[in-house]
Structure 1
Amino acid sequence: MSANRTAWLRLARTDGVGPVTFFKLIERFGEAEAALDALPGLARKAGRAQAPRMPSREEAESEIAATEDFGARIAIASDADYPPLLLELDPPPPVLTLMGPLGFDRPSCAIVGSRNASAIGMKFARELAQGLGARGVTVVSGLARGIDGAAHTGSLETGTVAVLAGGINHIYPPEHRELQAEIARRGCLVTESRFGLSPTARDFPRRNRIISGLSLGTVVVEAALKSGSLITARLAAEQNREVMATPGSPLDPRAKGTNKLIREGAALIESADDVLDILGQLKRRVAEEDSDGWMPPPSDGERPDDSDVDAVRERVAGLLSPSPVSVDELARAAGCPVQLVMAALVELELAGRAEIAPGGQVRSA
């Protein structure tokens, strides 16, 4: 990996640097190495006593070596083979770890649902995945118990992608050890997490964002009203992807979430043909895409000056609360241009005083 790619990995693994802040730093400084050099000063200006911990070059190279020794590979968003649908996200994950021979040149659809799934729900998910795979669609899911595992099993022969919350070498759940190994051999494992990481609760929504982001559409087979699968469906809608759901008995709590999705406008799915009809027009988009990887947007000559950021930083910080608010709303409340508020938020996140979520929501840390 070149020095620039190693710096990219170091920046992505730096404390306080989420995906939004990562790309704002790249846009501001042009390259990862320059952003790393500037980062301690930005964090101090925003009130952090000590600079955020940045992995050393040796630590980054060690992660790369461990990943490759395990049989996986690291892909950054500027690589030509980075999954093209993820490049449409705002922002895409800066760094992914991939393992397996399956590429991302075919149309894909996510199938997700309850961990505590019914027997009939798992049968439907498995047969749905088989039907989609037979028609050239890659099935994406999260390798969880229940519906996810059934979807992977049904599409193992035709192509399946499992998105992990932890590191590429982390086995979860334990009973899917053989399934995970088989997907690595014949399909593809994907994670945003560093090698060796055991996931925490905050890593699963990030995983869900990648599941929906890799897919033209998301099918929810079973989901309770507070299911994580509904988070995946919400993220799919925010990403302008299709949201689909299978109906269930009103007496089954596992159908409450899917029935609610249908009432709110999700497409009702009873067979693979229903999914294919919905995805039919979108499949051409993947076939015609020729991605050269992420490129920084052209400079518009309107980057805020450091002095302007210094003048509004505390005003922006004072408007934050634990409840998320959009950056646009925050800019209105501050009476400042969005770009200026965004620059201040980046520094506040580096200082551990703000959290910027993909999709334009921000709150106090």
Structure 2
Amino acid sequence: MVSLPAAPRRGVVLTEDMRLSWLRLSRSENVGPVTFRELINRFGSASAALQALPDLAARGGRRIVVCSEAAAAEEMARANKLGARFVCRGEPDYPQHLARVESAPPVLALMGAADCLHRPSLGIVGARNASLSGVKLTRLFATGVGKAGYVVVSGLARGIDAAAHDAALATGTVGVFAGGLDHPYPTENRALMRRILDEGGALLSEMPFGWTPRAIDFPRRNRIVAGLSLGLLVVEAAMRSGSLISARLAGEFGRLVFAVPGSPLDPRAAGTNRLIRDGAILACEPADVLEALAPLAGDGTRGDDPTLFEPAADGPLEEPSKDERERVVEALGPTPVTIEEIIAHTGVPTGIVQLVLLELDLAGRLERHPGGMVSLLL
């Protein structure tokens, strides 16, 4: 197997008390990845943000549930019993490539070795009801890129995902869960998950232990698969499939998107053929993927370190006046707008606008969109 340079592990290891606070904040109601980052930037630490949460949400118009210290400690105990641990964004073991994604999870549950999280990787996704030809092609690509030094990342589903993981066991593979690490799905892949760990791979999830995956959780998993990878290969996908969601997210993250062409008569090829028509890189053999990835994998640093969090503001935090809060809320609607547009339209200072948006977000009244855009949930 060819050895490719791994991304350097930079960052600061959190204390156990700090990690507990990060877990509590990430598990609190309405605190998504972007909101988590905004809270840390404003209050300087997870513990300070936790204290501020109830008042912020109340000003936005709702009471929320803040994860208790006991609940977070119990989840940590469950993780330890399973042989898992939590890795926080900005720590050395957190995947650097994923950290550059705006919606990267602040906390990941990890089983297995972290080494494969820092090597160049390719995501491979496709149909659950894969054809025999699709499975063979998947194994061909996974084996080929694995021997060239790439880790294969996928979502542990039936069909294409399972074939990709199985073919890459010897060279390195990462499986991303849609539910908690103690709730493997589908259960028929439990043996495969065990083999991934035995062969030095890793299993990841952002979801709490005890969480059974729902339909809406799979797109969340897909963004992690795309974010971990330099590129994403779609082998088979119908026109309405989660694989196409993964491809869209990969494109939004600036990743290369590859697609294997198929027969126009097979509905499982309709999505991949459409991707090629819309600009995805046609992949007929591993060399097509390796040639395109080579310029991205040659430098182990993969660019500058991501700026994870900004320093907290000095001095007391200015509170919005009633008039300022009303102007910001009135400027919002169902159509996404940028924060810069809100500031220009209302004349309200940047820090005040961001605080009002935080209040609305925690109250469940704000929706965040790619590119830093926001809209009001009516």
TM-score by length of 2: 0.88
Q: How many residues align?
A: 360
Of 342, 350, 363, which residue of structure 2 is paired with 1:331?
342
Match of 1:349 in 2: 361
1:327 and 1:338 in contact (8 A); partners too = no
Distance 2:96 2:211 in 1: 26
Match of 1:207 in 2: 221
Structure 2 counterpart SS, 1:90: coil
Residue 11 (structure 1) aligned with residue 22 (structure 2):
no
What is the letter of the counterpart of residue 177 of structure 1?
R
Match of 1:64 in 2: 76
Match of 1:170 in 2: 183
Distance 2:253 2:23 in 1: 25
Residue 194 (structure 1) aligned with residue 208 (structure 2):
yes
| 1:297 CA displacement | 2.2
| 1:94 CA displacement | 0.3
Of 50, 54, 58, which residue of structure 2 is paired with 1:40?
54
Match of 2:254 in 1: 240
| 1:345 CA displacement | 1.9
| 1:296 CA displacement | 1.8
- Residue 294 and residue 95 in structure 1: after superposition, are their counterparts in 2 closer, same or farther (change >3 A)? farther
Distance 1:211 1:324 in 2: 28
Q: Map 1:131-170 onto structure 2 (within 5 A).
A: 131-170=144-183
Structure 1 counterpart SS, 2:162: helix
Residue 119 (structure 1) aligned with residue 142 (structure 2):
no
Of 104, 109, 115, which residue of structure 2 is paired with 1:92?
104
Match of 2:4 in 1: none
Q: Map 1:19-38 onto structure 2 (within 5 A).
A: 19-38=33-52
2:343 and 2:353 in contact (8 A); partners too = no
Q: Map 1:233-312 onto structure 2 (within 5 A).
A: 233-285=247-299, 287-288=300-301, 295-298=308-311, 305-307=318-320, 310-312=322-324
Structure 1 counterpart SS, 2:189: helix
> Which deviations, in whole Å up to 9, do the C-alpha atoms of 1:37-88 show, x marking residues without a partner?
111111111111x3x1112112111111110110111001021111110111
> Which deviations, in whole Å up to 9, do the C-alpha atoms of 1:252-307 show, x marking residues without a partner?
1111111111111111001111111010010023x235998864224688998322
Greater shift in the superposed pair: 247-256 or 267-276? 247-256
| 1:180 CA displacement | 1.6
> Which deviations, in whole Å up to 9, do the C-alpha atoms of 1:221-271 show, x marking residues without a partner?
111111111111111111111111111111111111111111111110011
What is the letter of the counterpart of residue 147 of structure 2?
A
Residue 109 (structure 1) aligned with residue 122 (structure 2):
yes
- Residue 272 and residue 202 in structure 1: after superposition, are their counterparts in 2 closer, same or farther (change >3 A)? same
Of 171, 180, 184, which residue of structure 1 is paired with 2:193?
180
Unaligned runs of 5+ in 2: 1-14
Q: How many percent of aligned residue pairs carry the same amino acid?
A: 49
Structure 1 counterpart SS, 2:90: coil
Distance 1:125 1:169 in 2: 27
Distance 2:252 2:305 in 1: 24
| 1:315 CA displacement | 4.1
| 1:320 CA displacement | 4.8
Of 75, 84, 91, which residue of structure 2 is paired with 1:79?
91
Residue 53 (structure 1) aligned with residue 45 (structure 2):
no
Distance 1:245 1:304 in 2: 50
- Residue 291 and residue 84 in structure 1: after superposition, are their counterparts in 2 closer, same or farther (change >3 A)? farther
> Which deviations, in whole Å up to 9, do the C-alpha atoms of 1:153-206 show, x marking residues without a partner?
111111110111100111211211111222233211011101111112221111
Structure 1 counterpart SS, 2:192: helix
Distance 2:183 2:215 in 1: 15
Structure 2 counterpart SS, 1:356: strand
Unaligned runs of 5+ in 1: none
- Residue 291 and residue 3 in structure 1: after superposition, are their counterparts in 2 closer, same or farther (change >3 A)? farther
1:79 and 1:294 in contact (8 A); partners too = no
TM-score by length of 1: 0.91
Structure 2 counterpart SS, 1:288: coil
Structure 2 counterpart SS, 1:258: helix
Structure 2 counterpart SS, 1:44: helix
What is the letter of the counterpart of residue 140 of structure 1?
V
What is the letter of the counterpart of residue 56 of structure 1?
S
Give me the CA root mean square deviation.
2.5
| 1:358 CA displacement | 5.2
Distance 2:154 2:310 in 1: 31
What is the letter of the counterpart of residue 266 of structure 1?
A
What is the letter of the counterpart of residue 244 of structure 1?
F
What is the letter of the counterpart of residue 87 of structure 2?
A
